[in-house]
Amino acid sequence: MQTQLETLSGLERRLSFSIPREEVSKKVDARLKQVAKQAKIAGFRPGKAPLNVVAQQHGFRVQEEVLGETVERSFGQAVQEQQLQVAGFPRFEPKEAAAEGNFEFVATFEVYPEVKLGDISGVEIEKPALTVGDDEVSKTVEILRKQRTRFERVERAAQDEDRVIIDFKGTIDGEAFQGGTAENYAFLLGKGQMLADFEAGIRGMKEDETKDVNVTFPEDYQGKDVAGKTAVFAITVKNVAEPKLPEVDEAFAKALGIADGDVAKMRDEVKKNLEREVRLRLKGRAKESVMSALIAAAPIELPRSLVGFEIGRLVEQAQGDLKARGIDPKLVPFSPAMFEEQAKRRVHLGLVLAELVKQNQLEAKPEQVKAIIEDLAENYEDPTDVVKWYYEKRERLAGPESMALEDNVVEFVLGKAKPVEKAVSFDELMGQQQG
């Protein structure tokens, strides 16, 4: 087989190769003989039709199959001889002017870039730190109280933090518009769940009170039909209820799973769970810092094909998330450009991590994987069953193995670089507003 390799630009290559027609013809004849044994052709018993008749009906399809298989096999042999690492799928095209006696093809494809890991010994990498104390436990208990908020009807005027139930009908220039009417609509006042003008109009209203409220929609409002316009909402308040938080007492502790209702035990359990959550979040922050440092230390050209595959995967994932929430993905079209930067980062990281792991033997060890699985299982009522579930099928270990490998990478890089410990606030780490 004759081959010719060209570099088009950067990572793109073009490989020309030829396949003897005689080789393909022999394989086609052999395949047709196999087909003839099973072929059902009118006028002949199954498997008894003459080969020339079988060829008339199945010859074109068989030749296409054989030629396709031979092209892929020949390409694989050629790239192996050239010691090329193909990224993505090649594009095959037949040559219009092939030499007599040969099929000739051109394959255009990308190769993996050479990954050179830069020196990270002098790189400062931020390592966040936080110690869980009584204040953090108290804040978490307060959040748990708010999650169990009850609302009690009041006869006073509505104020922030209240839950109000309303009927409303909006009109623009006297005409009702889509989405502008609802009955028995409940929301929390002062939480930004509705437009500011709308909430301001309700604030101070009492049960059974009705009034008109002017509301101006922002220019960038998602509903394009009403964006920038002013509507008049006829609003009737049907119920005003104020929040009532449970007391931190025996009943509250029991509701959180403490059988004897001991509040001290409850706080200890909250602290234990919080320490685990904080540890995981600190670990995640450190990992992101390490990954960013690795990307900066190893600039490489990315194969467009791999970035394209990753964009497609991210789009599918986003569509799957919408379906899981009961939303038709067709109603929320995704532009591939939305995911391009994320896809580039993932591909870049994948290439760098693969090289780093290979050079430094950072593969996940069985004992590491087991420790991660046992840690994950602690969140469940019966940890033993969870551990057993992971080990029942080999593919279920992929996630814990990936986590262990990332842990090894983070530990290796932090050991080489200059980790700088930085205190992080509880609110910032947990990503929640305390109030």
Other CB atoms within 10 Å distance of the CB of residue 365: 13
Q: Where does 166-262 have alpha helices with state H?
A: 196-202, 250-255
List Cβ neighbours of 219 (8 Å cut-off, separation of 6 or more): 227, 228
**Three-class SS string for 36-60?**
HCCCCCCCCCCCCCCHHHHHHHHHH
pLDDT of residue 97: 64
pLDDT of residue 152: 96
Assign 175 to helix, strand or coil: strand
pLDDT of residue 432: 56
The token pair that represents 13 in the structure block: 């290559």
Sheet holding 12-20, edge to edge: 3-9, 12-20, 102-111, 86-94
Q: Where does 82-148 have alpha helices with state H?
A: 134-147
Write the pLDDT tens digit of every residue in 140-184.
999 999 999 999 999 999 999 999 999 999 999 999 998 899 999
Write the pLDDT tens digit of every residue in 358-386.
999 999 999 999 999 998 998 888 999 99
Q: Which residue has the higher pLDDT, 97 or 299?
A: 299
Is the entire prediction scored with pTM above 0.95? no
Distances (CA, A) of 275 to 49, 257, 270: 76, 18, 8
| Distance, CA of 300 to CA of 114 (rounded, Å) | 8
Residue 435 has pLDDT above 70, yes or no: no
Q: Which residue has the tokens 């929609």?
A: 217
| Domains of the chain (ranges, CATH numbers) | 3-111 (3.30.70.1050), 124-135+261-430 (1.10.3120.10), 149-244 (3.10.50.40)
Q: Look at residues 18, 25, 12, 26 and name the one whose alpha carbon lies nearest to residue 77.
A: 18
Q: Look at residues 175, 169, 167, 177 and name the one whose alpha carbon lies nearest to residue 227.
A: 177
The token pair that represents 96 in the structure block: 């219009």
| Distance, CA of 347 to CA of 13 (rounded, Å) | 20
pLDDT of residue 433: 43
Contact of 15 with 109, CB cutoff 8 Å = yes
Q: Where does 188-262 have alpha helices with state H?
A: 196-202, 250-255
